Amino acid sequence: MTQPRWRKSSFCQEGEACVHVATAGPDAAVNVAGSADPGETYLTVSPVAWSDFLQAVKNPGAV
């Protein structure tokens, strides 16, 4: 099994208290954590749901 690769949001200020996102592969669930310790998954969503969420954030008037 592939281990998730955690990435920190590019919008984070200094420090680690921000959103971290990880997947274990291209078709794997997306794990979202809002903590300096992203090893604890707070939210798990499908790749389609994550993509829809990102589109809504980038284009709020289009939803």
pLDDT, residue 45, reads 93
Q: Which residues constitute the domain of residue 32?
A: 5-9+17-62
Q: Whole-structure pTM over 0.75, yes or no?
A: no
Residue range 8-46, pLDDT digits in tens: 887 777 766 688 888 877 788 898 888 766 666 678 999
State the DSSP code for 48: H
pLDDT, residue 2, reads 66
Alpha carbon 36 to its chain's center:
14
State the Cα torsion 19-24-25-28 to the nearest 10°: -80
Q: Domain count of the chain?
A: 1
pLDDT, residue 46, reads 93
